């Protein structure tokens, strides 16, 4: 949840004059997205999402994010599409922040995904990976293996406050992953944050993917590992192999995994668990006073990391190697 910035009446009117989207009916701050301020904008033409990019987003990345949504929409993926200004651009300024209007996607995220949802997410992720091909802009992933140690150094000294032994666990894991991270797997555009919050369904049919503000160029199979972590565990942190199998089958039916990607799944899943463990740890230890957002508990990802460390072979994720 996040609505950080208030918009004044007059500046909103001037802002909307730059677009061809009809007369304002209403603007309501919505509890979606953690990094930005999001508003539901209704006009006599329809509904839109108006986003103000707050300081956690680097302005220089916005052409990548907005261009990617445009590119993926054009390739037929169901995702928000930037609405052009009369000038043809998609980026503007409102309330002193960079801002954009994007199309409104019907649907709701599911809070308790079932295997059927996981299968559809696998399918959609693979379609996104294929559709990303040919997108001209590049963005490095700051939150992959080389970024984790510096991130941990920002909070590592206090790791044991959260959970006894966490400092040692993370140091072990960083050493292992730095030595064993794969580099020769297929690369492309990844979503990098495809959690249940970011996938909409309408009557149990996937209706679209949202929130591309972590998207970047990286190993496609790392995106798979992020989803295994995000979609295939139960609220008690136990692994649900039925959901993982459904997800991986959904994915590989659209884009079959290479044997190297398949073999690398356990290490990629460990890396993905560590990545979210580290950002949650950092946020947990650095809650700003007066924050409107409750940070997410890092313990969930400690449990997931421990699970993946116990995995001996990719087949434990439920997909046989021969299906890839």
Footprint of a copy of itself on this chain (CB under 8 A)?
A: 1, 3, 6-10, 12, 23-32, 40, 42, 47, 106-108, 110-112, 200, 202-203, 290, 292, 294
Distance of closest approach, residue 180 Cβ to a copy of itself, in angstroms: 38
Distance of closest approach, residue 145 Cβ to a copy of itself, in angstroms: 34
Distance of closest approach, residue 151 Cβ to a copy of itself, in angstroms: 25
Residue 122 CA to residue 137 CA, distance in Å, equals: 25
Residue 41 has φ and ψ, to the nearest 5°, of: -105, 120
Distance of closest approach, residue 6 Cβ to a copy of itself, in angstroms: 7
Alpha helices, DSSP H only, in 132-258?
Answer: 145-153, 159-162, 166-180, 220-231, 241-254
Closest CB to a copy of itself among residues 3, 192: 3
Closest CB to a copy of itself among residues 8, 187: 8
Closest CB to a copy of itself among residues 132, 208: 208
**Which are the contacts of 60, defined by CB distance < 8 A and separation ≥ 6?**
none
- Dihedral sign for Cα 210, 213, 219, 221, please: negative
Closest CB to a copy of itself among residues 23, 60: 23
What is the secondary structure of 188-199 as a DSSP string?
A: EEE-S---GGGE
Closest CB to a copy of itself among residues 42, 171: 42
Calculate Rg over the CA atoms of the chain.
20
Closest CB to a copy of itself among residues 50, 267: 50
Residue 142 CA to residue 11 CA, distance in Å, equals: 35
Answer yes or no: are the C-beta atoms of 259 and 308 closer than 8 Å: no
Distance of closest approach, residue 233 Cβ to a copy of itself, in angstroms: 17
- Find residue 108's DSSP bridge partners: 201
Distance of closest approach, residue 26 Cβ to a copy of itself, in angstroms: 5
């Amino acid at each position: 949840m996040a609505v950080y910035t208030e918009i004044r009446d007059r500046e909103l009117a001037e802002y909307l004059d730059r677009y061809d989207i009809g007369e304002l009916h209403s603007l309501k701050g919505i509890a979606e997205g953690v990094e930005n301020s999001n508003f539901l904008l209704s006009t006599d033409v329809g509904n839109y999402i108006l986003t103000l990019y707050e300081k956690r987003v680097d302005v220089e990345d916005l052409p990548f994010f907005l261009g990617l949504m445009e590119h993926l929409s054009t390739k037929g993926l169901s995702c928000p599409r930037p609405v052009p200004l009369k000038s043809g651009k998609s980026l503007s300024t409102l309330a002193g922040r960079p801002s954009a209007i994007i199309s409104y996607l019907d649907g709701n995220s599911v809070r308790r995904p079932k295997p059927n949802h996981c299968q559809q997410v696998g399918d959609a992720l693979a379609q996104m990976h294929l559709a990303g091909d040919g997108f001209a802009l590049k963005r490095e992933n700051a939150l992959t293996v080389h970024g984790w140690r510096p991130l941990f150094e920002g909070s590592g000294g206090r790791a044991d406050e959260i959970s006894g032994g966490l400092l040692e666990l993370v140091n072990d894991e960083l050493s292992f992953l730095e030595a064993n991270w794969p580099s020769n797997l297929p690369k492309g555009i990844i979503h990098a944050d495809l959690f249940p919050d970011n996938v909409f369904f309408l009557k149990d049919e996937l209706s679209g993917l949202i929130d591309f503000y972590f998207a970047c160029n990286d190993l496609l199979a790392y995106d798979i590992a992020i989803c295994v972590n995000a979609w295939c565990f139960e609220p008690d942190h136990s692994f649900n192999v039925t959901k993982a199998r459904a997800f991986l089958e959904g994915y590989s039916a659209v884009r079959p995994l290479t044997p190297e990607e398949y073999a690398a799944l356990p290490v990629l899943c460990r890396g993905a668990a560590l990545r979210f463990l580290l950002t949650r740890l950092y946020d947990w230890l650095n809650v700003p006073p007066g924050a409107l957002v409750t940070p997410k508990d890092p313990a969930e990802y400690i449990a997931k990391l421990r699970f993946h460390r116990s995995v001996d072979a990719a087949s434990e994720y439920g997909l046989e190697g021969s299906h890839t």
